[in-house]
Amino acid sequence: MTDTLTIRRPDDWHLHFRDGDVMRAVVPYTARQFARAIVMPNLTPPITTTEMARDYRERILAAVPEGHDFMPLMTCYLTDTTNVDDLARGAGEGVFTAAKLYPANATTNSASGVSDVELIYPVLERMEAEGIVLCVHGEVTDHDIDVFDREAEFIERHLRAIIANFPKLKVVFEHITTLDAVEFVKASGPNVAATITPQHLHINRNAMLVGGIQPHNYCLPVAKRETHRLALRAAATSGSPKFFLGTDSAPHFRHDKESACGCAGIFGAPVALESYLTVFDEEGAIEQFEGFASLYGPAFYGLPVNEDSVTLERAESPVPDELALAGSTIVPWHGGQTLGWRFRG
């Protein structure tokens, strides 16, 4: 039995840092485990220009604790009126690593998102030409579509068309939650990949709805039924380079989640690697973990792999019920549980 695992330092290919005090409180958790992270732009106001992204990157870098070599990779929030020249300039100058498509009102701070995907086809055309990665929140927002069907419906209504129209565009289908998404990504070319969160590998929708409403298991896209969770576990541990790590770590204060209209998002950063490795261990696939966590993401984004390494050890690892952060409290993913792996550093 493997009791320690040393792998190249991983990267987190999708997370939310927020801004201000919360950002300063959460960045150290990610910088402790990861070398780089794709930072979501859904602030208020959203990060829509090169200048905004450059400033935001500086604020994040200023929050990285001494002794950590951490690089935030910035994304441009696409809107109906994105300035494509500015996006291309920002990508050329190394400020933007990707652009993010939020369908309007799909999730937290997405009101300024794209109201009709076809409106941004000229932007996608330029991104395809310039090799800029498109990160997609793949859910339709139409009120007539059941929340559990929104991801599968997005594939049929939008993603197939995007990929058919822009066959060389690099697309990351983010935080996938369904067998439909797994199959779609597998059947697509090498320019289409997906990230998978730890929560969608651990829980199905029962964890959110059985025994009382469980707001700390609520995120978007919502966890689906067990069949889908099993498909995600198989994909993540398969060794396919199309599936890689993206926590979607999304801090919300405890009181905002435990409310009559609780926020979507799970704060996974404090125990990200321990959580993922538990799944790989349960699946008998520890040898596939380094590819998922540290190799396939850089390969897809065309970036070098990290040179240093991290070690995890098999040991009881209790997770606190809550963390005092930014003058309030945040419940971390796995809060109150004991994991079987510990991050050593």
Binding site for ligand DOR (CB under 6 A): 16, 42, 107-108, 137, 219-220, 250, 264-265
Instruction: Match 């801004």 to its residue by tokens.
Output: 19
> Locate tokens 């050329």: which residue?
92
Shorter beta-carbon distance to ligand DOR: residue 90 or 246: 246
First to last CA, the chain: 21
108 contact choice in ligand DOR, Zn ion, none (CB below 5 to 8 Å, kind-dependent): ligand DOR
In this complex, which beta carbon is closest to ligand DOR, that of residue 42 or of residue 294? 42
What's the min distance (Å) between Cβ of 18 and ligand DOR? 8
Task: Pick between residue 126 and residue 137 the one whose CB is nearest to Zn ion.
Answer: 137
Amino acid making up residue 247: T
Phi, psi (degrees; rounded to nearest 5) at 227: -50, -40
Site membership for Zn ion, residue 151 (CB under 5 A): no
Q: Which is nearer to ligand DOR, 193 or 312 (CB)?
A: 193
11, 12, 180, 248: which is the annotated catalytic residue? 248
The minimum distance between CB 252 and ligand DOR, in angstroms, equals: 6
Q: Which of 151, 248, 281, 290 binds Zn ion (CB under 5 A)?
A: 248
Which helix (H) or strand (E) segment holds residue 339: the answer is strand 338-343
User: Residue 326 Cβ, how far from Zn ion at the closest point, in Å?
Assistant: 19
332 contact choice in ligand DOR, Zn ion, none (CB below 5 to 8 Å, kind-dependent)? none
Least Å from the CB of residue 161 to ligand DOR = 22
Within 8 A by CB and 6+ apart from 66, the residues are none
Of 128 and 248, CB closest to Zn ion: 248
Instruction: Evaluate the CA torsion angle 190, 194, 195, 198 in order and state its sign.
Output: negative
3-class secondary-structure state, position 204: coil
Q: Would you put residue 316 in left (φ > 0), alpha (ψ -120 to 50) or beta?
A: beta
* Token pair in block for residue 61: 């870098």
Q: Which residue is nearest to Zn ion (CB)?
A: 248
CA proximity to 345, closest of 318, 316, 302, 313: 313
Q: Select from Zn ion, ligand DOR, none the partner in contact with residue 107, using the beta carbon and a kind-dependent cut-off of 5 to 8 Å.
A: ligand DOR
Give least dist CB 40 to Zn ion, A: 5
Pairing of β 12-15 and β 36-39: parallel
Active site residue 256: no
Binding range to Zn ion, per CB under 5 A, among 118-126, 143-151, 201-209, 248-256? 248-256
- Among 275, 276, 268, smallest CA distance to 236 is for 276
Q: Which residues are catalytic?
A: 248
